[in-house]
Amino acid sequence: MGIELLRHPFVIFLVGALLVAVTRGNLRKALLLLTPVIGGINILGLEAGTTVEFAFLDYTLIPLRVDRLSLLFGYLFHLAALIGNIFALHLRDEDNARVQHTAALLYAGSALGAVFAGDMITLFVFWELLALTSVFLIWARKTERSIKAGFRYLVIHVLSGVILLAGTLLRAHQVGSLEFGDIGLDGSLAGWLILLAFGIKAAFPLLHNWLTDAYPEGTATGTVFLSAFTTKVAVYALARSYAGTEILIYVGAVMTCFPIFYAVIENDLRRVLGYSMINQIGFMVCGIGIGTALAVNGAVAHAFSDVIFKGLLFMCMGSVLHMTGRMNGSDLGGLYKSMPITTVLCIVGAASISAFPLFSGFVSKSMVMAAVLQEGHVWVWPALLFASAGVFHHAGIKIPYFTFFAHDAGIRTTEPPGNMLVAMFIGAGLCITIGSRPSLLYGILPYVTDYTPYDVTHVLTQTQLLWFGALAFIGLQKTGIYPPELRSVNIDAEWTYRWMAPRLVRGIGGAVARVDSAVRGAVIGTVQRVMHSATRSHGPHGILARTWPTGSMVLWVAVLLAAYLVFYF
Amino acid sequence: MSEHGPHTTDDGRTYLFDDPKNVDRFVNGFYVVCVVLVILDFVVHRHISHRWENLWAFHALYGFGACWMLVVIAKQMRRVLMRDEDYYDGD
């Protein structure tokens, strides 16, 4: 077991992170590149069916379980770690480079630990590690906002872990097993708790706000890592444990639709990408809810595509932030003049997320769409189609348009450092490769598939959908209906815990304080009144506490004795 | 993170889309593709998977309508949802 554990993908990243933490300069850069490469070679040698397990009390723990589903995410996370590390290679000491590099490797390792976990306790450990390691990529920005957003992020994710643990223990008690396998909703509380924990990390509606709160506050390079791992681990966990759970079809459909409205009116372009991310996860959740081979294939294939193209878009925005210090649509524009290469790479990412034929989103999202119709969900399909048009609108057009075109904000800068460009080129290359050679992706999906994305109908209808969506954009711009980018905040579910809860606590606190002071006042008043009357009667001048002169006592004794004598005789 | 400021504000050069004619050319090219895509709907025999797809140029109409509606509704949402940029600051 010991030797096999050394081949655990997490162990390689842990060693890499420890070495990165104590080195600097070119050695550290080499380690940053070597860790995912060595990890990648290792994982290519892992065979489906390999497991490492040991007994723990009455239960079996399985820290390593290799099958087609975990391998797919394993490949993906190695790729994402490599691209992310290349993108962050230029970081200097003043950027908290040591912290960021170490945290990023540990974070990627935790994601790998979670997808190769075969039992719920191991999953729980990596679930919490994901939060603890990734928060440093937010804090490393070192602004007041990022520190606060990081704390909120941490609290929510640790809470998700605690709920996961509660569900796990309850389930272990009920079914006597800790296996991380099919769970589903059988009406038990444990099933619901675990789904809730997964749902928080997957950014289900109303539980989603940690994502759009924290991701825009991360560092220019850190958010690229953030976008790759946390939510995709959740998608993996849902695919493993809740495939075919009907409620997920509707949860997914809502997730595809509601964020795009926010994305249209959001000014911070990385927050726009955050909303767009929830929209894309919606397609995956929907596919998992349908649960057929085609649907689950589609869901995980789309997770694969999404990590690459969303990573590419976050890298493009990270480059812009790095070079200009700005991220609001209202402050940007005209950057195609000084960042033409970044512009083209961003358009590749935009075309991929929009699912244009020949780009990666087209070959993965369409599997979910096809599965929805195959299973007869005729009312879910129009919602997903609406969201497909909408994603092109806010991510495909809005992001490149307001950053690189629109009105010229007068910014003249240069292309980002070479390492950033290389990372973006790799991302863009993968988007086009997957889009034009889908068999490469289809070959590693969990179920064997004969799905063909490219037929005349599909290419034509998808192009019509997107092209006329763009036509609407042009129409809205020309008529002046399109809302301008404004410096603003839009209220979302976070309002409940960032605005209402503090005021509620303060309000309740104030009321309690008022009642408390009234009660105290009444009691103190009563005590004071009692004291006052006691003082009056028993105090130094009180009638009952007065000191009497000795002479008068003698007089009274004499009077008593005289009276006694009189009565005696 | 080192976030550099903008380097210069203007370099006096004229770029592709500084010339309104180029913008028009781009947009006109775009319209042409739209027309071609709609004409193709007459030529190509599409598979129908959802009954709405029986409608002529359904995907084009739906894409246009969806995006238009999305923006109009989102714009109205601003009336309810939009707050100052520093709304949450100080909490």
The pLDDT of residue B11: 65
Contact assessment for residue A392 and residue A472, using Cβ atoms and an 8 Å cutoff: no
pLDDT in tens, A510-561: 999 999 999 999 999 999 999 888 888 777 677 676 666 777 778 888 899 9
Contacts of A163 (CB under 8 A, 6+ apart): A193, A194, A196, A197, A200
ipTM entry: 0.87
Contact list, A317 vs chain B (CB under 8 Å): none
Distances (CA, A) of A144 to A102, A107, A140, B87: 22, 23, 11, 15
Q: Are residues A352 and A485 in the same domain?
A: yes
For residues A304-319, give the mean pLDDT.
96
Instruction: Give B24 to chain A, closest Cα distance, Å.
Output: 12
CA distance B20 to chain A (A): 12
* Position A415 in a domain: yes
Given A241, A275, A299, the domain boundary residue is A241
SS3 A331: helix
Residue A551 domain-assigned (yes or no)? no
CA proximity to A256, closest of A280, A275, A237, A274 = A280
Q: List chain B domain ranges.
A: 16-45+53-81
Distance CA A355, CA A179 (A): 36
> Do A209 and A256 fall within a single domain?
no
Determine, yes or no, domain membership for A520: no
Q: What is the pLDDT of residue A346?
A: 96
Q: Which two tokens stand for residue A491?
A: 């209220």
Number of domains in chain A: 2
Among A95, A465, A487, select the one facing B62 at the smallest CB separation. A465
Q: How many other CB atoms sit within 10 Å of the CB of residue A560? A: 10
Which two structure tokens, joined as six digits, stand for A72? 């797919």
> Which residue type is seen at B24?
D
Do A223 and A271 lie in a common domain? no
Q: Are A284 and A197 found together in one domain? A: no
**Cα(A269)–Cα(A212) distance, rounded to whole angstroms?**
11
* CA-based nearest distance B33→chain A, Å: 8
Top residue of A461, A485, A491 to mutate, by most chain B CBs within 10 Å, is A461
Q: CB contacts < 8 Å between A and B, how many?
A: 203
Give A462's contacts (C-beta < 8 A, 6+ positions apart): A355, A356, A357, A362, A366, B59
What digits encode the pLDDT tens for the residues A416-444?
Answer: 999 999 999 999 999 999 999 999 999 99
From A386, A455, A464, residue closest to B60, measured CB to CB? A464
Q: What is the mean pLDDT of the segment spanning A396-414?
A: 88
- CB distance A375 to A290 below 8 Å: yes
Q: Provide the 3-class DSSP secondary structure of residue A221.
A: coil
* The pLDDT value given to residue B1: 41
Q: Answer whether B60 sits within 8 Å of A468, measured CB to CB.
A: yes
Per this entry, what is the length of chain B?
A: 91
Which amino acid is residue A478, in one-letter code? K
Which of B15, B34, B59 should one mutate to test binding to chain A, selecting the residue with the greatest count of A CBs within 10 A?
B59
- Cβ-defined contact of B82 to A461 (cutoff 8 Å): no
Mean pLDDT on A102-106: 97
For residue A92, give the DSSP letter: -
Q: A417-448 burial, b for 16+ CB within 10 Å, e for fewer? A: eebbbebbbbbbebbeebbeebeebbeebbee
| Same domain assignment for residues A369 and A485 | yes
- Please, which contacts does A516-523 make with residues 24 or more away whose CB atoms are closer than 8 Å? none
pLDDT computed for residue A546 by the predictor = 67
Judge whether B85 and A488 are in contact, CB under 8 Å: yes
Chain A residues within 8 A of B74 when measuring between CB atoms: 261-262, 264-265, 483
Q: Are A7 and A116 in contact (CB under 8 A)?
A: no
Nearest alpha carbon to residue A345 among A432, A226, A466: A432
Determine, for residues A460 and B37 on separate chains, whether the beta-carbon distance falls below 8 Å.
Answer: yes
Task: Give the mean pLDDT of A273-277.
Answer: 95
pLDDT < 50 regions, chain B? 1-2, 5-8
pLDDT score of B10: 59
Q: Are B1 and A140 inside 8 Å of each other by CB?
A: yes
Does residue A314 sit in the same domain as residue A380? Answer: yes
Q: Which of A221, A241, A261 is the last residue of a domain?
A: A241
Residue type, A413: T
- What is the token pair recorded at A365? 């999202």
Quick one: average pLDDT of A211-215?
Answer: 95
Q: Do A412 and B9 touch (CB under 8 A)?
A: yes
Burial of B73 (0-12, 13-18, 19+ CB in 10 A): exposed
How many other C-beta atoms lie within 10 A of the C-beta of residue A398? Answer: 23
The answer to the question of residue A341 being in a domain is yes
- pLDDT, residue B5, reads 47
Highest mean pLDDT: which range of A1-10, A105-114, A182-191, A466-475 = A105-114
Q: Is residue A367 situated within a structural domain?
A: yes
Q: Name the helix (H) or strand (E) containing A510.
A: helix A501-538
pLDDT in tens, A25-75: 999 999 999 999 999 999 999 988 888 988 888 888 999 999 999 999 999
Q: In terms of residue numbers, what domain contains A104? A: 1-241
B67 closest CB neighbour out of A389, A411, A412: A389
Characterize A486-521 residue by residue with b for buried, 16 or more Cβ atoms within 10 angstroms of its Cβ, and e for exposed. Answer: eebbbbbebbebbeeeeeeeeeeeeeeeeeeeeeee
Summarize pLDDT for A478-497 with one digit per residue, the tens.
Answer: 898 888 888 888 888 888 88
Write down the pLDDT at residue A50.
Answer: 87
Residue A556 in any domain: the answer is no
Same domain, residue pair A303 and A218:
no
For chain B, the C-alpha Rg in angstroms (whole number) is 22
Residues A435 and A289 in one domain: yes
Pairing of β B82-83 and β A51-56: unpaired
Is B70 touching A (CB cutoff 8 A)?
A: yes
Distance from C-alpha of A515 to C-alpha of A80, rounded to nearest angstrom: 57
Residue B28 C-alpha, separation from nearest chain A C-alpha, in angstroms: 11
Inspect the interface and report whether the beta carbons of B46 and A461 lie closer than 8 Å: yes
d(CA A281, CA A255): 7
Q: Do A309 and A441 form a contact (C-beta atoms < 8 A)? A: no
Across the range A392-414, mean pLDDT stands at 88
For range A316-336, the mean pLDDT = 92
Residues A265 and A228 occupy one common structural domain: no
How far is it, in rounded angstroms, from Cα A464 to Cα B33? 10
Please check whether residue A231 lies inside any domain of the structure. yes
CB-based contact (8 Å) between B28 and chain A? no
Distances (CA, A) of A225 to A77, A204, A326, A362, A466: 10, 20, 20, 24, 29
Residue ending a domain, among A471, A489, A507, is A489
The pLDDT assigned to B3 comes to 52
Q: Other CB atoms closer than 10 Å to residue A35's CB: what's the count? A: 26
- A77 with A209, same domain: the answer is yes
Give the number of other CB atoms < 10 A from CB of residue A14.
17
Mutate to test the interface with B, among A276, A413, A471, A478 (most CBs of B within 10 A): A471
Tell whether A94 and A154 lie within a shared domain. yes
Q: Which long-range contacts (CB under 8 A, 24 or more apart) does A137-140 make?
A: A137/A100, A137/A103, A137/A104, A137/A107, A137/A218, A137/A219, A137/A222, A137/A223, A137/A225, A137/A226, A138/A214, A138/A217, A138/A218, A138/A219, A138/A222, A138/A226, A140/A95, A140/A96, A140/A99, A140/A100, A140/A103, A140/A219, A140/A222, A140/B1
Residue A6 scores a pLDDT above 80: yes
- The rounded mean pLDDT for chain A is 92
Higher pLDDT residue, A535 or A312?
A312
Contacts of A505 (CB under 8 A, 6+ apart): none
Model confidence pLDDT, tens digit, residues A218-271: 999 999 999 999 999 999 999 999 999 999 999 999 999 999 999 999 999 999
